[in-house]
Amino acid sequence: MLEFSFENWNKFIDFIRENLPNTEVKSFNLNALSEKLGLTKNELIFLFTIFIYACDYSNKYLNAMNIEILNNSIYFTYSENYIKKISLSIRDYEDLSDIIYLFKNIQKGKGFEINSNSNIPVIAKIRGLYKQYPFMFKKLNGYIFPSEIGYKLGIAALSFKRINQIPKTLDVLNYRFEIKKKRL
């Protein structure tokens, strides 16, 4: 097991900020990169892996990264065209629409307090969606707010609600939401 060092992590992150992702594919010679950062090849691979794993949950890169090691070179691939498919029931789709309407028009951008003692129906909906789709929300100072993806999906749902339609699919950022007629 490799030892995790914040100093190594900071060196690595500084390198990433300066070099990635500018194009779809980057390749680095592991020996040269190892010397430049003062890290072993195994440490570099470990740090790339942690970085990609962390990005999967950051909603910025949305599972669009991968690493491959061939002939002492590391290939770091990034694709903005990667689409992650998510199934969403009509009920969850409508609940998100209602939540975003409340957030935007009633709460005026203030988050929702979801303490465990609250029996308010909208709070129950938020709790349910948060458990099922945590990437659609973020917690901050005891409140829950829609994340960028949740907010944009909710706004799109509100647009369709105005014309009394429910789409089969909705593309929002790097996600394709398939709206299912039946409960999931």
pLDDT digits (tens, 9 = 90+) for 27-83: 667 777 778 888 887 887 787 777 766 665 454 444 556 666 666 666 666 555 556
Domain ranges in the chain are 6-78, 84-180
* Whether the predicted model's global pTM rises above the 0.75 cut: no
Please check the confidence at residue 5 and state whether its pLDDT lies above 80: no
Question: What φ, ψ does residue 102 adopt, rounded to 5°?
Answer: -65, -45
Summarised one tens digit per residue, pLDDT across range 84-139 is: 788 899 999 999 999 999 888 887 878 888 766 667 788 888 888 888 888 888 88
- Better-scored residue on pLDDT, 171 or 16: 171
3-state helix, strand, coil in the chain (%, to 5): 45, 25, 30
Please list the alpha-helical segments (H only) found in 57-142: 90-101, 121-132
The domain defined by 84-180 folds into Arc Repressor Mutant, subunit A (1.10.10)
Q: Is residue 103 within 8 Å of 95, Cβ to Cβ?
A: no
Summarised one tens digit per residue, pLDDT across range 141-168 is: 878 889 888 999 999 999 888 888 888 9
pLDDT of residue 92: 92
Q: Is residue 66 within 8 Å of 52, Cβ to Cβ?
A: yes
Please check the confidence at residue 1 and state whether its pLDDT lies above 80: no
The domain defined by 6-78 folds into Ribosomal Protein S8; Chain: A, domain 1 (3.30.1370)
Amino acid letter, 166? I
Q: How many CB atoms lie within 10 A of CB 33?
A: 18
pLDDT of residue 173: 76
In the block, which residue shows the tokens 């195994």?
42
- CA dist 178 and 169 (Å) reads 4
